[in-house]
Amino acid sequence: MSLNVPGILVDATWLHANLAHPELLILDATVNLPAPRFDGDYRASSGYDGWLAAHIPGSRHADLLTDLADTSASFSFAMPQPDELLKALAALGVSTEKTVVIYDRADGFWAARLWWTLRGIGIESAVLDGGFNAWKQADYPEAVGCSVRTTAQTPLSLGAHSAPYVDREQVLAVVEGRAPGILVCALGPGLFDGTAPTRYARRGHIPGSLNLPARTLFDERGRYLPKDALSQLLAAQLHDDTPLILYCGGGISAAANALALTLLGRQHVSIYDGSLQEWAADARLPMTTGAPPA
Contact 64, 118 (CB under 8 A): no
Contact 215, 107 (CB under 8 A): yes
> Rounded CA gap, 64 and 270, in Å?
18
Cβ-Cβ contacts under 8 Å for 176 (sequence gap 6 or more): none
Given this model, what pLDDT does residue 147 score? Answer: 65
Given this model, what pLDDT does residue 155 score? Answer: 62
Per-domain residue ranges of the chain? 9-137, 165-279
> Rounded CA gap, 211 and 237, in Å?
11
Task: Return the closest-CA partner of residue 99 out of 10, 167, 179, 161.
Answer: 10
Given this model, what pLDDT does residue 238 score? Answer: 87
Spell out the long-range contacts of 42-47 with Cβ–Cβ below 8 A and sequence spacing 24 or more: 42/76, 42/199, 42/200, 42/277, 44/76, 44/250, 47/104, 47/105, 47/110
Given this model, what pLDDT does residue 97 score? Answer: 86
- The fold of the 9-137 domain, in CATH, is Oxidized Rhodanese; domain 1 (3.40.250)
Helix H or strand E segment including 245: strand 244-247
pLDDT in tens, the chain (294 residues): 578 899 999 999 999 999 999 999 999 999 999 989 999 999 999 999 999 999 999 999 999 999 999 999 999 999 998 889 999 999 999 988 899 999 999 999 999 999 999 998 888 899 999 999 999 999 999 999 986 666 655 666 666 555 699 999 999 999 999 999 999 999 999 999 999 999 999 999 999 999 999 999 999 999 999 999 999 999 988 888 899 999 999 999 999 999 999 999 999 999 999 999 999 999 999 999 998 766
Task: Return the closest-CA partner of residue 137 out of 23, 12, 249, 49.
Answer: 12
Q: Is CATH 3.40.250.10 what the domain over 165-279 is classified as, yes or no?
A: yes
What's the gap between Cα 162 and its chain centre?
17
Given this model, what pLDDT does residue 236 score? Answer: 87
Output the pTM of the full model. Answer: 0.94
